[in-house]
Amino acid sequence: MNNKQLADTFTLIANLLEIKGEIIYKTLAYRKAAESLMGLGRDASEFWKEGKLEEIPGVGKAIAEKIDELLSTGKLEFLEKLKKEIPEELASWLAVPSLGPKKVGMIWKTLGITSLADLESAAKAGKLRGLPGMGAKSETAILEGIASLSRRSGRMPLGRAYPLAQSIIAQLKKVKGVVAAEPAGSLRRMRSTVGDLDILVAAKDSAAVMEAFTNLPNVSRVLGKGEFKSSIEFGDGVRAQVWVHPPQEFGTALQYATGSKDHNVKMRQLALDKGLSLSDHSFKKVNPSTGSGRAAEKEIFCATEEDVYKTVGLPWIPPELREDRGEIEAAKANKLPKLIELKDLKADLQMHSTWSDGKLSMLEMARASAKRGMKVIAFTDHSASLGVTGGLTMEDHKKQAAEIKKIQKELGDEILILHASEVEIKADGSLDYPDEFLASLDLVLASMHTSLRQPRDKVTDRVIKAIRNPHVDIIGHPTGRLIPDREGADLDMEAILQAASETGVAMEINASPYRLDLDDVYARRAKELGIPISINTDAHSEEDMDMRFYGVAVARRAWLTKNDVINCWSTDKLLRWLKNRGK
């Protein structure tokens, strides 16, 4: 059982307990534990083997015992009992907008239905109005909620959310009186997937903003429209909400809306330590006589986030770090990393040309890369066994090498081209070309595209075998995941990273917003182990090259600096590294 399965189990428990009406803090504890497992970076089973489960944040005695039971038996008596009490199917109702645990519980208890289909029929038949606290509007809201569920498939990839949010922001900035507009929430923290789009606007007068926002093109429904907050749904089911704050409190508002929740809990605590209560509006002096957070004569307003952090005695923390993964402590100790930036990237070590499945010739790709400030690129056209991509035979490679020589002459020192290959790690763990041939390439990037559903041991061994091949320099998109649809291979990532740290092989952060693989958590673990990271676009076209932005976002979330990423090194240093690897 891996971390995600454990986390899913605890999330289910939290949902069922909530419907049951258990005290909210108990359900929060299960959710916190689930989140913590997802961000752990190592398998919980390792903590388990060492008897250190309770060292995982948010895991105490009770949850540690449950993890122990799950890992030893694959089952959980507590959950089985709970499911008998509260039908598991009800948990899926919670995904319906406008339905929360209270109403789910109430509807189930009064009408005795458990399936989403029955809920829909009941709503259509008008059986929900008349239930306590529900009227015709609630019924319609539930029906619309069920309909929107089928339209939207959960969270959307960052690569879709980000441009969409930017276009909304551009339109809001045109509204008269708008001083600033910024993304917030997981979008601003650059998580790989985003639920709803959160946008924050600074303006004295909110009415014009709300008017513009609810009248954006392609808005299919206005879900709510108030003085400070409005939310909308687009035709494709994507939802966005906007908050408007006066400019003088934009800093606290943006900090608050950016989250994460856990980061903000710590921020509020730091404020309290200084006798201040922090809200999205301002800091207020805590009244010492009552101990309550109100009744202050003097409010502190912050127009910028820098002021917010300064007020609690911290340097500004980049949004990508705000996950309560040690950033507050690092900021306190003045040990925040100087995060990598887009401009630091000087090399792109995975891209494809018309030699395999790319859309442009090598010359066109090289020129497009140079235009974007790249000094070194590697053509990693696919290897022979990946037939659908037009993979190259060794004979093809000879011809490709000759063409590279020719265009290199044409390009001069504008950009350096490396002759490389994305070599398939085959199902048996062998590579697609013999060692002698691999040794002749400038760079070898090995990755998996097939048989990703092999059992954990087998697929893990496969990658480790590639890592131990002395000719392999980079492992490309290690898990093979596709966002949001396909989970990656069931890898023992700790074992893989240990092997990589022994051999010095670099691990890729594939910058395609549909991959972002390694993810932030494992990339951070890789850094801890001293493994070099390579951020590559995997570009098949010119537009793909601009996706490197998302790769940098993952790297920033992983606390990486430019020294950790081989693509930021000088050409000399990069070539020296390759040479030391036998190239």
Query: Which parts of this chain interact with DNA (CB under 7 A)?
Result: 23, 25-26, 28-30, 32-33, 54, 57-64, 94, 96-104, 129, 132-139, 141, 145, 185, 195-196, 198, 224-230, 239, 241, 257, 261, 265, 268-269, 273, 279, 293
Closer to DNA by Cβ: residue 266 or 449: 266
Give me the least distance between CB of 135 and DNA, in Å please.
3
Question: What distance in Å separates the CA atoms of residue 319 and residue 188, rounded to the nearest whole number?
Answer: 6
Q: Are 190 and 319 in contact (CB under 8 A)?
A: yes
Residues composing the chain? 583
Amino acid, single-letter form, for residue 23: I
Give me the least distance between CB of 62 and DNA, in Å please.
4
Closer to DNA by Cβ: residue 257 or 566: 257
The token duo for 332 is: 């306190």
Terminal Cα-to-Cα distance of the chain (whole angstroms) = 40
Closer to DNA by Cβ: residue 239 or 562: 239
Beta strand residue intervals within 425-559, DSSP E: 443-447, 474-475, 506-510, 533-536
Give me the least distance between CB of 116 and DNA, in Å please.
14
Closer to DNA by Cβ: residue 229 or 371: 229
Q: From residue 105, give the alpha-carbon distance in Å to each of 131, 142, 463.
A: 12, 14, 47
Q: Are 228 and 206 in contact (CB under 8 A)?
A: yes
Closer to DNA by Cβ: residue 207 or 439: 207
What is the maximum span of the chain, computed from C-alpha positions, in angstroms? 83
Residue 381 gets which letter from DSSP?
Answer: P
Q: Are 182 and 152 in contact (CB under 8 A)?
A: no
Closer to DNA by Cβ: residue 260 or 380: 260
Give me the least distance between CB of 121 and DNA, in Å please.
18
Q: Which of 540, 516, 564, 459 shows the shortest CA–CA distance to 190? A: 516
Q: Which of 471, 475, 386 shows the shortest CA–CA distance to 432? A: 386
Closer to DNA by Cβ: residue 195 or 390: 195
Q: Are 314 and 321 in contact (CB under 8 A)?
A: no
Q: Are 491 and 478 in contact (CB under 8 A)?
A: yes
The residue assigned the tokens 């994460």 is 260
CA-based angle 28:31:33, to the nearest 5?
Answer: 110
Closer to DNA by Cβ: residue 261 or 453: 261
Give me the least distance between CB of 230 and DNA, in Å please.
7
Give me the least distance between CB of 181 and DNA, in Å please.
16
- Rounded to the nearest 10°, the torsion over CA 503, 509, 510, 514 is 130
Give me the least distance between CB of 76 and DNA, in Å please.
11
Half-sphere CA count of 104, side-chain side, radius 13 A:
26
The token duo for 574 is: 């990069």
Closer to DNA by Cβ: residue 29 or 463: 29
Give me the least distance between CB of 267 and DNA, in Å please.
10
Give me the least distance between CB of 480 and DNA, in Å please.
31
Closer to DNA by Cβ: residue 136 or 295: 136
Give me the least distance between CB of 29 and DNA, in Å please.
3
Give me the least distance between CB of 557 and DNA, in Å please.
19
Q: Are 197 and 182 in contact (CB under 8 A)?
A: no
Question: What distance in Å separates the CA atoms of residue 341 and residue 322, rounded to the nearest whole number?
Answer: 17
User: DSSP alpha helices (H): ranges in 98-152?
Assistant: 101-111, 116-124, 136-151
- What are the backbone dihedrals phi and psi of residue 279, each rounded to the nearest 5 degrees, phi first? -130, 180
- Written as one string, the DSSP assignment of 297-309 is S-EE--SSHHHHH
Closer to DNA by Cβ: residue 97 or 488: 97
Closer to DNA by Cβ: residue 10 or 514: 10
The residue assigned the tokens 């010119």 is 542
Give me the least distance between CB of 277 and DNA, in Å please.
8
Question: What distance in Å separates the CA atoms of residue 208 and residue 171, rounded to the nearest whole number?
Answer: 12
